[in-house]
Every structure is written in C-alpha cells, then in structure tokens.
Chains A and B, each alone.
Chain A
C-alpha cells in the first residue's frame, strides 16, 4: 500500500516527454560554449609570446646593441685592464732598480742596512775569518774555544 503510494507520487512527479524535450533543449542552449561560434583561436602561447615582445620593445633594444658598439666596449675595457696591470707591475719593480720605495720620488736613497743587502748566513762550522775578528773594545772575539757539552736534564 505504502509502496504503491510512493510509486504513484514518483510517477506523478516524473516529467513528461514534452517537458524533458524542453528541459534538454534549454539545457544545451546554455551548455554549448559561445566561443564555438568564434573562429578557431590559434596557439595561445604564440600570442602570449608576441604580446610579451610588444610590451617590452625598449628593454629588448637596450639589450641587443649593434655588434660594433659591443666590440668597442669590450676592447676598451680590456685595454684599461692591461694598462692597470702594467702600472702595478712597474710599481713593484721600481724599488729594486733604484732602491727607493717611491717611484719617481726622492732620488736620495735611504741608508741601507747591511742585513738587507747581505743576509746573515751562519755556518755550523763557523766562519774562521770572522770568528777571530775582534768585535768589542776589550778584545772579545766570536771564536769559540771551549766545546759545548750537552747533558740531558732529569
């Protein structure tokens, strides 16, 4: 009884064939994209790329200078670097040539220390010619007379 009631209710709610026709026509009228009526759109990525190029023409021109201009610029910077290197090298060599720390400055050389010109080289055998030389007012020499004895410390 209850099932029959539900079935009757459902069938009464069931749309007729005409209603379904109308419903489906309305549905598809809205469902079909309007863009289908438009001509085929070409590759969207190509369009986007063209738009990007059109938007930044100045930037593009600035980056792509003529080759001759770029060549002159590179040559000038290489020449400047070479000149700077030359100046640095010549500055480093000047003190050895004239003994001065200042290139083209004071012509009087400062008092050179003997250590600088003649580095002290100590021989383990000693230098006989200099060890007997008197180095003090009381006749002290550098000659070693007594041997040095080494004893281990406890």
Chain B
C-alpha cells in the first residue's frame, strides 16, 4: 500500500500536506467503508476518517511505513473510545439533504429515512466480516478480487461470503417486517 513519511522540518510541510490530501482523495472512501463496517453509523465512520487524517497531520513520530494501516488503527481506536463513551446524539441521515430536492413530499422523505434505518439496523446485526464484504461491495463497488486482498482470502471465498451475507440480511429484514416492494 501507499507509504508516507512524516516531515520533521517546515520545508517539507507543503509536500507532506499534498501527499496527505492526495491520499485522502484516493482512500478516504475505503477507510469510511471499513469504519462503517465497524460501527454501522455513517456519520461516526466519517468522523473516524477525519480524526485519523487529522492525527496524522499532527503526528511527529517515527516515519509511517504503511499509512493505510496506521490510519485504520487510529480510526479503529477512536471508534472504540467513542463506543465506550456511548455518546449517541440525534443526527440527520447524511445524503438525505441532497436527496430532499428530488422528493416531492415529506412523507416520502420520512419513508425513505425509515427504510434506511431498517437496513442499517439489519446490517448491524450481521457479523463484522459479513458486513465488511457488503460495505466494500456496495459502497465501494469493489470486485471480489479487490475485497479478497483486504480480507486476506480468495475471491471465491469472498463470492460465497457475499452471497451468504445478502441472504442473511434479507432474512433479518423479513423477520423485522421490512417491505422491499
């Protein structure tokens, strides 16, 4: 994976900033997907992405060999801390603001919001590996081969896991009275 070193003098700061910006543009969505698989909360996963990058900005320690692994670890630790504090705040669904202009009525918005919440809850019931493959497949649009490199298994195993995770999710949704029509 991409590596980046931490600059120690002021001359290298702009270069380092550019590297971080580029890395953010390229990998923030993947990090978000992985964090989302951990917490099932889109906003919190986004905050974890921000937090891990901001901490890397301030980081003055040893050069980081694997930036992705470093960011993942920082974000994961941050998510654990937040989960311990149990700071559940009322948040609007991200993405719905963009969608609002295209919808006619408040009822449609409400219905959409409820559907999102139902799927999110069902996803949170799945085990983390099942959730991870679904998130990578459908939020990143990754192939089985790409997911396999992250999950450290074969693409065939990923296909099987994907199929099983979809079925399990469908069962949970049906159990909870989800109307897919």
Contacts and interface: CB of A to CB of B under 8 A. Distances in A.
Interface of A: 10, 13-15, 17, 19-21, 23-25, 27-36, 39-43
Contacts, number: 86
B174 A28 contact: no
Given A17-B166, A30-B95, A31-B36, A39 B135 contact: no
7 contacts: A13-B174, A14-B171, A27-B116, A28-B139, A32-B42, A35-B94, A36-B29
Contacts of A20: 166, 169-170
B50 A40 contact: yes
Contacts of A27: 115-116, 119-120, 138
Interface of B: 20-21, 24-25, 28-29, 32, 36, 42-43, 46, 49-50, 53-54, 57, 93-99, 112, 115-116, 119-120, 134-135, 137-139, 163, 166, 169-171, 173-174, 180
Given A33-B42, A34-B94, 14 more contacts: A19-B180, A20-B169, A24-B119, A24-B166, A25-B138, A27-B138, A30-B116, A31-B94, A32-B32, A32-B42, A32-B94, A35-B46, A42-B57, A43-B57
